[in-house]
Amino acid sequence: MTRSTPLLAACALAALAGFARAEDAPKPDTGNGAKDGESVIHVIKVNNGQAQAFSSVIVHTNGSSITLNAAPMPVFTLESPEQLEQRLYSVLGRAVPLRLEHLSYGPARRLATKIPVGGADDLTDLGDGWKIEELYKLPETKQKALEELRASYAAESAKLQARLDGINRAFAARALELRLKYELRANDVLTGQDRDQKRQLDGFAKQIWLQQEGLASKAAQDGARAKKQIADGLTQVRVLDENKFQVPGSVYAALQNFTLLISKVSQGMRKLGEDAAAKAPHLLNGPARERLERLFRELKPASNAAPLSRKNTAPSGAKDADF
């Protein structure tokens, strides 16, 4: 379950999430900025959810290492992959896609969404439970059998998720069909020029939606890749003490890139909105244009409000909406 406090993000890198201590964790085998056969580890300190990298370690294949005591890097908020995903979809004005873990499971919620196959619950809402081989010493054959069961479960879950995606698409299509039917009926309440202009306004809106959807689709794909990279790399985090962690360079870079992605997407969506606000009123005439310009101005913060240009910047090729 995603928590709102940034402190949970720090906990996500600590033992609460079941990550190994420094003496137990495997060495990261991937990094950012390393040469062949090397990996980069950033040492970060966390204070109230704010993280800062203070040094980097280049680990060589022969086990030796070089510590680079560079100047402190910019402070950033350490967030879990789920929190970053929530922020990205919020910027996009969309809900996070419905997944199996979002369904209602009642008292068995943690079994269905957190605890690994062949696992034991930690009985809190902080961790994800433990694999039973962390509790019992098992021979290699039994460990392999458990891994095969987990792989089979993952494959079956993927099939269920695909079915859920198909059901969602089908229901979304039906809901949209219903909504559009009533919008067309509402347009028919208008007459003459008013109805024609409203249809043009609808057509222009559809053009903007398609641009927004293109931006959102790419951002969602980039976000999914970054989320997976972070989630995979977090298993290699080492806990040095309560507020200090060793983070693989790949994770550090992915966290930074995800945050940068959110900023770029926010700017892109805002630019699309500003361009649309400047053009849309020119599809209308007379008092309707005046009112639409005023409505767009009221959407802006007072400090940014500025009169829209009187120059005719009507969008080229605006057509009646056929949805």
pLDDT of residue 96: 87
pLDDT of residue 230: 79
* Mean pLDDT per 10-residue section of the chain, whose length is 323 residues: 35 32 33 43 60 52 44 56 83 88 92 92 80 91 95 96 95 96 95 92 93 91 86 71 68 78 90 91 90 87 46 55 60
Provide φ and ψ at 117, rounded to 5°. Answer: -60, 130
How buried is 4 (Cβ within 10 angstroms: 0-12 exposed, 13-18 middle, 19+ buried)?
Answer: exposed
pLDDT of residue 299: 82
Under 8 Å between Cβ of 223 and 260: no
Return the domain boundaries, the chain.
7-165+217-276
**Which pTM does this prediction carry?**
0.64
CA distances from 252 to 33, 88, 94, 148, 230 (A): 11, 18, 26, 31, 8
pLDDT of residue 91: 85
Report the alpha-carbon distance of residue 175 to residue 187 in Å, rounded.
19
Per DSSP, the three-state class of 46 is: strand
